[in-house]
Amino acid sequence: MAARGDATDGAALALRCDVRSDESVEHAVAATLERFGRIDVLVNNAGVLGEGLIEEVDAATWSFVLDVNVTGTFRTCKAVMPAMKQQGSGRIINAASFAAVVPSVGSAAYAASKAAVVQLTRVLAGELGPWNITANAYAPGMIPSELNGFLEKDQATQDRLLDTLTLRRWGDAQEVCDLLCFLASDASRYITGTLIDVSGGKLATQLPQRAYELAEGR
């Protein structure tokens, strides 16, 4: 959550928040409003994986993934809506995933949760338009992190994953941050209800590695 302009005075407020808890989310929103007097931007990026084949995933894992990824997003969005409506503006930015577009085997809970985030975002955009509040989702591709462990995989596995990218390299977190800054800014004021792909062209074409082979004369 963030406030713009003079309200921040260049200062930041760090708060611990458990998106699985209504009380925790409401406390974070109240503390932000007390400090800054408004909330201009909400970025929902809390997320968990919960991998496993459908027949192997237990109900507890399924519920945990959806509670964090979907219901957690719902909680925070709902909590900031009154303040954004009162001020007549706001930006809601929700983390989806490329799994919401093309899921992977063994990712049922994660893919379902991220697809739900995309649809939730579209409904938010529709309902909040009258108050000049935009809602968008973004789909990161292969950005190495502790959560996905891409850089810890063996070279053959890394090569297979990289071969699915039009820009054949791992993404950088800053490249996702650049998109978030755009969506949080006035430059995106006429964009709402969309899912923006920031994946280096993952699966933009069939067999994108063929272009690299041709470029190398193979």
- Tell whether the torsion through CA atoms of 155, 161, 166 and 171 is positive or negative: negative
User: How many H helices and E strands in the chain?
Assistant: 7, 4
DSSP 93-160: EEE--GGGTS--TTBHHHHHHHHHHHHHHHHHHHHHGGGTEEEEEEEE-S---TTT-GGGS-HHHHHH
Tell me the sheet residues that pair with 139: 197
Tell me how far apart the alpha carbons of residues 120 and 195 are, in angstroms, rounded to a whole number: 11
Type of residue numbered 82: P
- Residue 153 has, within 13 A of its CA and on its CB side, a CA count of 17
Q: Which two tokens stand for residue 34?
A: 């007390």
Catalytic position from the list 110, 138, 190, 212: 110
Tell me whether residue 110 is one of the annotated catalytic residues. Answer: yes
Tell me how far apart the alpha carbons of residues 106 and 124 are, in angstroms, rounded to a whole number: 29
Continuous segment of H or E residues that includes residue 24: helix 22-36
Active site residues: 110
